[in-house]
Every structure is written in C-alpha cells, then in structure tokens.
Amino acid sequence: MAFDAATIRQDFPILQQMRSATVPLTYLDNAASSQKPQSVIDTLNTYYRTQNANVHRGIHWLSEMATELYEGARVKLQKFVNAKTRREIIFTRGTTEAINLVAQTWGRANLKAGDVVLSTVMEHHANIVSWQIAAEQYGFTLHYVPLLYDGTLDQATYARLLREENVKLVALTHGSNTLGTINPVADMTQLAHAHGALVLVDAAQTAPHFKLDVQALDCDFLAFSGHKMLGPTGIGVLYGKRELLEAMPPFLGGGDMIATVTLEGSTWNQLPYKFEAGTPAIAQAIGLGAAVDYLNALDLPAANAHEHALFVELYERLSEIAGVRVLGAAPERGALAAFTMEGAHAHDIAQVLDQHGVAVRAGHHCTMPLHQHLGIAASVRASLYFYNTAADVDRFIQAVYAARKTLVS
Amino acid sequence: MDETFYRENILDHARHMRNKGLLSPCDFDHEEHNPLCGDHLHLTMRIDDNGIIREVGWDGSGCAISQASASMLGEELIGMSLEQARKLDKQFVLDLIGIPLTINRVKCATLSLKTLLVGLVSSEHWENIEDE
C-alpha cells in the first residue's frame, strides 16, 4: 500500500491550521525542527497532569512512576539506535550539548598539543565551534576535510590526512543540513579506526529519517536531537561506546552524577548517570520516547520513499526556475534543498514565501564556513518530512515564482 | 501500599541484624554506596581453602530495607562457595525480601548484593545484573 501522507497528517494538529483565512500552512522547515504528533503532545500532557515528580530519589508513588517512565524512555532510545546497553544512552539537551560533552570530557582526558581532530567543511557550527573551544583549552589542532564540487567530502584528502596527521578523532556529520549530502559514515569510520582515530557522528539530520544502527556503523559516539524527530525541545541523546564513556571524566557536576561526596572530594556515579547532573529533562525524555514509538509504528522505508519522491519533484522544479541555484549535487542526499536566487536575498525570499504560507529557513543554517566556501552569504532552505504532500511542493514552487516576480525585476 | 510493606521478617532483621560487625583479618573486603540516598555498606568475609564462605561480617548505615537485605544475604552466604556467590542475581535478594519493591527501592534492597558482586567480580558485571 502506498504511503498515505494525507492520513498521517491528521496526527499533527499544528498542520491542520491555516496561515490566514485563505492561505494554508505549508511547513517546509523540518530540518530546523519537526512538528509533533498528537501522541507526543498527549504524553507530555498526561505526564504533567498525572505523573510529574523528580526521578531517582523519591520513595513515593509519583516519583517511582516518573522514574519508570524516564528510564523506560532510555530503553526505547537504546533499541532505536541498537546500542548494546541502556547505559550507553546519555540524555542531553540536544546534539549540541552532546558534542560539547565529548569535546570537553573525552577531549580533556585524551587531547594534547600535537594531536589532531578532523572535522569537515560541511559541519554544523555545533561540530566546529565545540572543537575550536576545546582546541584552545587543550592545545590540539583542528583540520577540516574539504569538499568536492558536487558537495561530497573529498575522500582522497580524508585518507591522506588520516595517513599523514596524528588524528585522534573525526567529528563528522551523517547528513549535511545545507547540502543534503549523506556521508558514507560506516566506511569513513572503518578508515579512521584503521588509523587509530575515533569517530563522532552528528546524526541530527539523519536520526529523524533513517533507522540508525550504532553497532553496524561502529561509530564511537553518535549525537542527535529529539525535536527534529517528532519529540520535544530540550532533549537529545549522546550514544557512546561503554568503555569510552567509563573512562571519561564527568561533564557537569551536581546531583545524580555522584556516588559519594565529601568536602574533600567526590566519586562518580555509574553510567549513564555520571553524565546526567541535576534534575534531567524528565517530561521531554518521556515525550521523546513517545516520538520513538510513533516512528517505530511508521513504515519508515515507505515514508522515506514518499519523502524522496517529493524531494525529486521539488528539486527538479526548483532548478528550472531562472536564476535559482540549488546547493549540492551529491548522489545520495536527504530530502532538503537549499538555494539562492540571483538578485534576491534569502531573507526577502523567505518573507515572500511566508506571505504564501510557506515556512522555510533563511540564513546560513549554522553552516557559515560552508556558505563561505560556496561563496554565498545566505541561502533559503526547504526541508521535507514524511507528513509533507505534493500539494506542499506545489505551493512552495508557486511561492518561489511569486518571490522572483516581486524581488527580481 | 500499606503497612504490610514492612513484613515482620524484614523488621526482625532490621532490628536484630545478623553478622553485624567487620571481620579482621578477612579474605574479602569491599564497600559500596547507594548514590540515590547515601546508604553505605561494608562487607567482609572469611573464605576457606576450598573457596567456601565461612564467616560474614558487615557494617553499614541505611534504611530498614537495605540493612535487612544485608542481614538476610549474610546468613545465606555462610556455607556458600565463591563460585555460587558469583552467580547470584537480583532476584535472589528480592526473593529474600519477599515483598514487591518499586524501582527506586530496588536499589536499597540490592545494595548488599552490589557490594558482594562488585567486590567479587566487577562493576560492569553488577551493572549487567542490575539491568536484567
């Protein structure tokens, strides 16, 4: 049976809204944040109405219930990415905090002058700036894998850098949030391991779309955000191989992360609590668990095929518009298209699109180095999710034509 | 949950703790904490040449459940081989306690077993037992 996006859309109350009395809402800013199904909203509502309490400490009915739900969500996430144990799942605020955690703790214990961390030109700022800050603190050097013309990584240079430099860790995105490029992370991880380097994968753009398998990828760390995959904001996951996490010093100090505390010093709690100082984002974690339930119930390959078909149509029709340049031409890519239009700034295009009810992202999408490399200041990005329809693509294309008519004389 | 939670057997062990007091010298000596509440358990044992646990002595502080479980587990350990002790699981202690426990209180009940197994095997082994 074909994937029925029109029915699926009924699960998302926000998509039932009109932008105004006569203009429907066309939500194409999914790479920034996804919308939430009723089941996730209900889970949050039920939690706050009937289950709310602090976790791990209270010996009372509500606290026990909140603890069961919170730890139950961790197991859902463990299964979702096929981690070996729930202890490898650290709840963070999101991808950004997860990467900072690794840069600050694994970095502190393992990186020094003479070491190299390899990032790439297409990374989100989270996977560049975290390492720049750590490089200043711990004295290692940061290098970047360059791009080829089609928006894929230059694998020959990657292999050369691994061979010639003292690379300790590769910080690599699974899917580019601007070019759409899907990187061959399993192959790149294998090569990094052959040269004794670890690999951190930023899966913020792929976790919402694909069934990830950390054991098959064999990556050492993997980070993703809840809010891009139907879940609440303020919750994300750091996966790390157990032996690496065990050896890392803690990130933040506080409650729940300790085994014992005296005024002279402290010892650390076991995984994953060592890395979860303070009261965690309990409702958000449980909400993310509900999002995972929703994704598990979905026919993901069919959803992907649907998204991809929409993307191909959007890409082809967008490319036909005079003066439009779509960024990136990787053979394997996610369902998003960033573009520029000759004679019009991205912000102005997005403004006209909004008047047509079309929500897109305009700016540098937290990839300033990539935009600089492409020789542009900003771009407009339309990104699809499984609940988008052919009608969304139609309205988007019509709105881009309207923007061109208004802005480019 | 009602007052039957504090089953007579648990209260008896909590009030009249068996084998309390550390052994010195001893063949096994390990301490653990429950990070959730600060409960503490120190377990010592004397083991004969055949690997049989002959004497158990423990000290600690904590709630009735954690102290009673140490008292009960201590009694069970005497006469047990180290090989048997290494294979103990969470259910063994939960059965000794004999009442259903909620998720946060399981940690209290298993502190004594955690002390035994972390000391005897490894913290990773204990974490795997805990996750069963």
- In this prediction, residue B99 carries a pLDDT of 86
Do residue A57 and residue B104 have CB atoms under 8 angstroms apart? yes
Q: How far apart are CA A402 and CA A273, in angstroms?
A: 53
The reply to whether A366 belongs to the active site is yes
State whether CATH 3.90.1010.10 applies to domain B3-130: yes
**CB within 8 Å: A85 and B33:** no
Q: Reply yes or no on whether the pLDDT at A409 is more than 90.
A: no
- How confident is the model at residue B5, as a pLDDT? 63
**B104 contacts A67? CB cut-off 8 A:** yes
**A58 contacts B35? CB cut-off 8 A:** no
Q: Is B35 an interface residue toward A (CB < 8 Å)?
A: yes
- Do residues A346 and A378 touch, judged by C-beta distance below 8 A? yes
What pLDDT, on the 0 to 100 scale, is given for residue A291? 98
Domain extents in chain B: 3-130
Taking alpha carbons only, the member of A340, A320, A385, A364 closest to residue A178 is: A364
Going by their DSSP bridges, the two strands A266-268 and A324-326 should be labelled as unpaired
The ipTM of this complex is 0.79
A119-152 confidence digits (pLDDT tens): 999 999 999 999 999 999 999 999 999 999 999 9
Render pLDDT for A361-401 as a digit per residue (tens, 0 to 9).
999 999 999 999 999 999 999 999 999 999 999 999 999 99
Backbone angles phi, psi at A305, to 5 degrees: -65, -40
Omega prior to A146 cis, within 30 of 0 = no
A 162-221 residues with CB below 8 A of B? none
Assess whether pLDDT exceeds 60 at residue A1: no
Q: Give the confidence band of A57 by pLDDT, cuts at 50, 70, 90.
A: confident
- Is the minimum CB–CB distance between B131 and chain A shorter than 8 Å? yes
Closest CA to A376 of A407, A349, A355, A394: A349
The answer to whether the CB of A189 falls within 8 A of the CB of A199 is yes
Whether residue A136 lies within 8 A of chain B, CB to CB, comes out as no
Q: Is B38 on the interface with A (CB under 8 A)?
A: yes
Q: Assign B1 a pLDDT band (cuts: 50, 70, 90).
A: very low
Q: Say if B123 is an interface residue toward chain A (CB within 8 Å).
A: yes
CB contact under 8 A, A58 and B37: no
Report the pLDDT value the prediction gives residue B2, as an integer from 0 to 100. Answer: 46
Q: CB-based contact (8 Å) between B33 and chain A?
A: yes
Residue limits of CATH 3.90.1150.10 in chain A: 5-30+299-407
Chain A interface test: which of B36, B61, B115 (most A C-beta within 10 Å)? B36
Residue in chain A nearest B132 by alpha carbon? A85
Question: Best interface-test mutation with B: which of A51, A54, A64, A79 has the largest number of B CBs within 10 A?
Answer: A64
pLDDT in tens, B25-44: 999 999 998 887 788 999 99
CATH no. of A5-30+299-407: 3.90.1150.10
Confidence (pLDDT) at B4 = 62
Q: Which fold has domain A42-296?
A: Aspartate Aminotransferase; domain 2 (3.40.640)
CB of A327 within 8 A of CB of A179? yes
For residue A92, list its beta bridge partners: A236
CB A124 within 8 A of CB A202: yes
